[in-house]
Amino acid sequence: MAKSDRLFRLLTALRMLPQPVTAARLAEEMGVSERTLYRDIEALRAGGALIDGAAGLGYTLTEDPALPPQMFTRLEVEALVLGLAEVRMAGDPALARAAEAAMAKITASLPERVQRQAIHAVSQTYRYEKRPPAPEHLGLIREACWEERALDIGYLDNDGRVTQRRIWPLSVVFLDRALMCLAFCCLRQDFRRFKLHQMRSVSLSDEFFRPRRVPLLREFLVQIKGGSAVRRA
């Protein structure tokens, strides 16, 4: 297979496979050795693709130079409009503003015909039962996840006591009626689920756990999908 064809297939695999995707999984998908896969990743990066990750951690395609926004189909536009509208309703003010800005940028880059499809989308979202307002510390938790930085929290447990914990935040999950942080609890030395509304205090620590967030989150999700019990805090 020509290298150009192989790189095109690799971009497609990065778009379609659940991310972060390991080098072993990509190599299997491409039918090449991991050594060749690593060289192809570097070739895509040199060509302008922004691919986060490294060997052993998995890869995520965060900017794709081969897929301009104006290539969205009508159904893809509907999905974007619906998804971003849901983010505006469910997220904290910063996330809601980001969703509005993202929609504006996407719409501005579309051809006029597709712009009209976005502005007058068929799909709408509305909730009769409003979610509780997002906690003020949601933005801080999100930043800690991005920076792979430990948090010190005061957490209200099921017995009504506030305990002090240090956690490694891995992900924020938007449930129907609540927000939950998936984390590694340093006190329990195990994975735990923390409800954001039960966090009485949240502060950034000086401890970083980079680059462990991605592999830890992957392990956490494998346990959940495999039916293993993951205790709440």
Strands 50-54 and 58-63: antiparallel
Q: What is the pLDDT of residue 41?
A: 92
Q: Could you give the CA distance from residue 159 to residue 120 in angstroms, rounded to a whole number?
A: 50
Identify whether the C-beta of residue 152 lies closer than 8 Å to the C-beta of residue 166. Answer: yes
Supply 142's token pair.
């999100």
What average pLDDT does the segment 5-13 reach?
Answer: 86
Confidence of residue 65 (pLDDT cuts 50, 70, 90): low
Confidence of residue 8 (pLDDT cuts 50, 70, 90): confident
Q: What is the pLDDT of residue 64?
A: 67
Q: What is the pLDDT of residue 61?
A: 82
Q: What is the pLDDT of residue 52?
A: 86
Is CATH 3.30.70 what the domain over 138-225 is classified as, yes or no? no
In this predicted structure, the answer to whether residue 152 has a pLDDT above a threshold of 90 is yes
Q: What is the pLDDT of residue 233?
A: 66
Q: What is the pLDDT of residue 68?
A: 61
Supply 27's token pair.
């190599």
What average pLDDT does the segment 206-218 reach?
Answer: 93
Q: What is the pLDDT of residue 156?
A: 93
Confidence of residue 139 (pLDDT cuts 50, 70, 90): very high
What average pLDDT does the segment 64-81 reach?
Answer: 77
Which one of 3.40.50.1370, 3.40.1030.10, 1.10.10.10, 3.40.710.10 gives the CATH number of domain 3-63? 1.10.10.10
What average pLDDT does the segment 154-175 reach?
Answer: 92
Identify whether the C-beta of residue 184 lies closer than 8 Å to the C-beta of residue 143. Answer: no
DSSP designation for 124: -
More reliable by pLDDT, 88 or 186: 186
Q: What is the pLDDT of residue 108?
A: 72
